[in-house]
Every structure is written in C-alpha cells, then in structure tokens.
Amino acid sequence: MPLSDPDFSRLTASDAARLLQRRALTAQALLGACIEVIQDREPQVLAWREYDAPRAMEQARQLDQGPIRGPLHGLPLGVKDLFDTRDFPSGYGSPVYRQHRPSNDAAAVALCREAGAIVLGKTVTTEFATFTPGPTRNPHHPAHTPGGSSSGSAAAVAAHMVPLALGTQTAASVIRPAAYCGIVGFKPSFGLIPRAGVKSLSESLDTVGGFGRCVDDVALLTSVMACAPQWRQLPEDRKPRIGVCRTPQWDKASPAARQAFESTVQRLIAVGVQVVDVTLADSVSALTDVHDEVMCAEAFKALADERVNHPDLLSERLRAMLERGSRITFEQSLQHRAQLASARHRMGRDFAGYDLLMTPSACGEADSGLEGTGDPLFSRIWSLLGLPSLNLPVGVGPQGLPLGVQLIGPVMSDTATLAFTRWVEQALARG
C-alpha cells in the first residue's frame, strides 16, 4: 500500500533514501510532508532560526527532474546555525552576528549538498555553542529544554520536521540533545569530519556530528561528511562485548536514568551480549574537570574578537566562562595535555577487553524550564578523548520524556562502533 503524504515525514532517512534512489518517492513529496509538519509544529517547538520552503521546493523539483545526485539525494536537512551557509544568514546564536551572511558553505554543508541533500534552513544553536539557550523547546513537552547546544537540530528531527540535521559537540552538544529529544545522535571520532566554516569554540574539542531516527540514519549522514562510504555498508552480524561504566558521577544520574540504564544492561545480557563492569582509572576520571578547563581556555582565545570588540553583546554566562579561561595559564594547558596523553594510553589498553563502553547519556530526563540546556557531565570525558559516541533512546521517564544510553567506541573505530551500536539498537528493538 502506498504511503499517504503525512506518513512521508515519519520515514527514517535511510528508508526515505532507498525510496528516493529508486524513484519510488519524489523529493517534492518528502519535502512537502516535512514543510506541513513545520507549519503545524514550529510555533510550539521553535527549532528554526530561518527556513525557506519555496527555495527548498525548487531544489526538490530540480532533483526530481535530474539524475540521482548521491546518497543524500532529495533528503531535507537542517543545519545548525554554527555552520556557514551561502544562502542563509549564520548568526552562531549571538547578536554579534545578527547581520552576518557568509559567501560560502561550511565544508560539511557543501559535502551534503554535493550528495543531494536539500538544506531546508538553519536550526537554533545556543550562544556560540555554549550554555546560553535560544528559544527552542523540547518537542515532547514545551516546558522542558531540548538540550544544547544543538537544540534546534535535535528538536527538528524529533518533531519530524526533517529526517536529518547537522550538529556539533564540544562537551555534550550532540549526545545530550539526542537523549532529551529521544533520537539517535552520533559524534564521530575527533577530526574525521572537516570543521572549515564552522564557528570555533575549542580547537581541541569541536566535532561535527549529526542526528537521525536510527543508527543507519546517522551513519548515512556522517559517511558523506567524512567521505567514508563504508559507514553505509556496515557488517550485519557484529554482536559486541560491552563494558558497563556507571562512572564516578553515577550519583548524579536520576533514579529513572539509573533504572533505564540497568534495564538496558539486563536486556542485553538476555540476548547474549557479553557484559563486563568497568571502573575508570583515576587518570581517566579526572578528565571531567580537565575538559572544562580546556574548553574555557580555548574559548577565551577562539572568541577573542567578540570579547574585545563586542563584550556588551555577550551573555553574562559566556563572559564568566571567558573570564575563567583567561586565568588558565600556559603551563596548566601543558599539564592538561600530559594528563590527556596518559588517559588516552590507558583507554587504548582498556578497550582491548570490550568493543563498546556504555554509560548514561545524560543525568536524566530533560530539565524543566528554558533557562539552561542541562548538564554535560556524562559526555565531557569522551569528548576530551575524541572517541566516537552515540546516543540510543531506551525508554521514557516518569515525566514522559525520553531517556538514553551512550555507547562509546575506541578512537578512530567509527565503522566498528556504528556496526556494533546498530546491532544493539536492533537487539533492543526485538526484545
């Protein structure tokens, strides 16, 4: 039975891509369904800084009349407003750049367009991808945050406005919004996707990632940006060995988050996954604070022009962060690098005993109120280590909001990490 138009917006990106590649679905029909959802839900969710439906529809028409462009042919895409775009303003979540119109696309955006994606518009980001939120609301409950800093991208995918969206992560800006919004978010290994044309916050941490509704979706999207076609042809039978890591911050997880985590462990054991409890070494556990100091110190340098020439346009929260960064000395930064090298060496040895590490994705359900974006606590270490990590939704909490678990692989093991996490996703869906 053919799908009716409203159903198109609920297709996963990977399913829609297969239909588009066979010409069993038109780009115009898929985009039209997404636009209908935006018109219906955007007044409540506020995921978009700007979108252009007529321009996107003209691109869809051209794609339908021309040859298949690539693996993202005809897929509508939301782009976090931290990326430069040649046909939309790029405000980086700050009034400093209210009138800023780049002449070129960020490299990641250009790669997606080359592969046939339709950039529908720019999604809301927090201020310079830090902690001061924009207007976006959680699509499951408008009184709760969608997380940050990739707020609009996660909300737009979760609300079925687009099947795919781009995000970035410096602390937890892909994993936490994905967990809060109940979708899949993937942060690849540091450096695999180009950051040219993405507003910098921290040279050692900023990583481009993406959002979708399943592991195949984020593998499809990020494969294009990383020029890694093997991520679209993942091995089918990759039952992982999983290291279960409750981390030293376990007491910061809500009862609901802990219950969902432990339930997920038991479900995986029931389907034959080899599970081992993992305790982090002190050198790794200490990286939570190191990450915070590295981010502040590097933000102080990256945002030099803004803090010198436009201090009155920066939020009080950001000014405090930059002030903290100014007090971190060069010698302390060198010490941080030494700590990081030691921890990476230790983690490289530890991963010999398992394929994936599993931790909570966030402290719990999305926080109520819109003054903040939640605590990045459970992702800081993995962002500093540059490891590939992915959020999988695993249930809902007592407020009816999503909960997730974070699956982490060894550095530069992204193909295997995606394959193993897809196996876990499918096993949990069957169970």
Establish whether the linkage from the previous residue to 149 is cis, with ω within 30° of 0: yes
| Tokens standing for residue 212 | 């979708």
**Sequence spans of domains, the chain:** 5-232, 241-285+333-430
The pLDDT value given to residue 128: 98
pLDDT value at position 237? 80
The torsion angles phi and psi of 19, rounded to 5 degrees, stand at -70, -40
* Per-residue model confidence (pLDDT) at position 236: 83
Which contacts of 58-61 are long-range, i.e. CB under 8 A and separated by 24 or more positions? 59/27, 59/118, 60/26, 60/27, 60/28, 60/30, 60/31, 60/118, 61/27, 61/28
DSSP 8-class letter at 367: P
Residue 75's Cβ-side half-sphere holds a number of Cα atoms within 13 Å equal to 37
Q: Which pLDDT score is estimated for 4?
A: 53
Tally helices (H) and strands (E) across the chain: 16, 11
Are residues 49 and 123 in contact, defined by beta-carbon separation less than 8 angstroms?
A: yes
Element (H, E) at 33: helix 27-45
What pLDDT score was predicted for residue 3?
Answer: 56
Residue pair 80/125 in contact by the 8 Å Cβ criterion: yes
The catalytic residues are 80, 149, 173
Instruction: Give the pLDDT score at 238.
Output: 80
Kindly give, in sequence order, each residue whose CB lies less than 8 Å from that of residue 304, ignoring residues fewer than 6 positions away.
Answer: none
Count Cα neighbours of 106 within 13 Å in the Cβ-side half-sphere. 29
**CATH 3.90.1300.10 corresponds to the domain 5-232:** yes
Residue type, 356: L
CA-CA distance, 268 to 270, in Å (whole number)?
Answer: 5
| pTM for this entry | 0.98
Give the relative orientation of helices 215-225 and 107-114 as an angle to the nearest 10 degrees: 110
- The arrangement of strands across the sheet holding 76-80 comes to 48-51, 118-123, 76-80, 164-169, 207-212, 184-187, 389-396, 402-408, 356-360, 241-244, 274-277
Q: Cβ distance 69 to 115 under 8 Å?
A: yes
**5-232 matches 241-285+333-430 in fold:** yes
Residue 333 burial by CB count (10 A; 0-12/13-18/19+): exposed, middle or buried? middle
CATH of region 241-285+333-430: 3.90.1300.10
Q: What is the pLDDT of residue 7?
A: 87
Report the chain (431 residues): mean pLDDT per 10 consecutive residues: 70 98 97 97 98 98 98 98 98 97 98 98 98 98 98 98 98 98 98 98 98 98 98 90 96 98 98 96 94 98 98 98 98 96 90 96 98 98 98 98 98 97 96 73
- The neighbour count for residue 1, using CB atoms within 10 Å, is 3
pLDDT value for 431: 73
CA triple 383-409-282, angle to 5 deg: 60
Residue 1 has a pLDDT of: 34
